Homo-oligomer: A and B are copies of this chain.
């Protein structure tokens, strides 16, 4: 294994589904400054061989040889992009092998899993970051900056929609691997409401629609939620894998409002519409690679031996809201949340923007089965 102080952090990408193929693997070409792709894990032999050739990566293996292959490849850090139910297991295996962990959102499917992940990273003195790409995205950081500047007055209301049509067989339509709208899309509006308000929800309520059609197997294809915050602030969001693609949020303040539309995706330019004093100004943000900045930042944290900002605590803060929403959907009752001390905040200082890159066509997109 490489020692701290090494110039480039050597990464294994763990999981080779659609997101890995269209976004994460290609991002290494924009992160060469301090990050290097040295191993890819997938249970699909054909996919592995295709990716080995495509990325010139020698170490492409199945999960049975995970620790051994990481040792052979001198891996420093893993980027976990497995089904949500496997995030904890591979975070624990990685930490025990002394590997730093960058884990896709949602961090896990239960609060206990998140806590165990934070604990194991602490115990083995490895860095743990949850891959919130929007913490490194210019439009989003400018939104935070604008709201904190007070120009629009006090932020009072948050409203978001995030929808897409999942294909039949999509991993997100399956309960057994942690699919569903709340786990897959929920982190976006929840995380956004939290960092745009700069506080934690105190009470939530949720309606889910299980199985809106035959595509969905026991998961919430659609979820609608209300979030109550302190000081009279409130938020709402509607998310779905069964509706035409929309991705937008709006923050209404005491003096004006900000609408971001598109607001959450990674595959298009972003627009802000800022209304103040009856006038609306539009601002366009070019499409950028949102994954390379995560790699660059996480590698820097490892090299400089400091805690990443969207750490496990940030992941846990969202998962505990998701779990409360699931409980509310099940019971038909509002669920109160205990106070949560926020130990991570995205900062404008993190802004690292790289030129947009065109993702390659995935080997077999979208991955219809579990990794």
Contacts and interface: CB of A to CB of B under 8 A. Distances in A.
Interface of A: 152-153, 156-157, 159, 161, 163, 165, 203, 205-207, 209, 212-213, 221-222, 224-226, 228, 232, 234-238, 240, 242-244, 246, 248, 250, 252-257, 275, 332-334
A194 to B, nearest CB: 16
Stoichiometry (number of copies): 2
Nearest to A239: B157
A250 B250 CA distance: 12
Contact of A243 (B242, B254, B333): B254
Contact of A209 (B232, B250, B252, B255): B232
Contacts of A152: 244
A234 B224 contact: yes
Contacts of A234: 207, 209, 222, 224, 238
Contact of A156 (B222, B225, B257): B222
- Most chain B C-beta atoms within 10 Å of own C-beta, residue among A165, A238, A244: A244
Given A156-B222, A222-B234, A332-B333, A250 B254 contact: no
A339 B238 CA distance: 24
B224 A212 contact: no
**What DSSP secondary structure best describes chain A's contact surface?**
strand
A207 B226 contact: yes
Given A234-B222, A238-B236, A254 B244 contact: yes
A238 B250 CA distance: 11
Contacts of A235: 224, 238
27 contacts: A152-B244, A156-B240, A156-B242, A157-B222, A157-B238, A161-B252, A163-B252, A203-B207, A205-B332, A209-B228, A209-B232, A213-B232, A221-B232, A222-B232, A224-B234, A224-B235, A225-B226, A226-B236, A232-B242, A236-B237, A236-B238, A240-B252, A243-B252, A244-B253, A244-B255, A246-B250, A333-B334
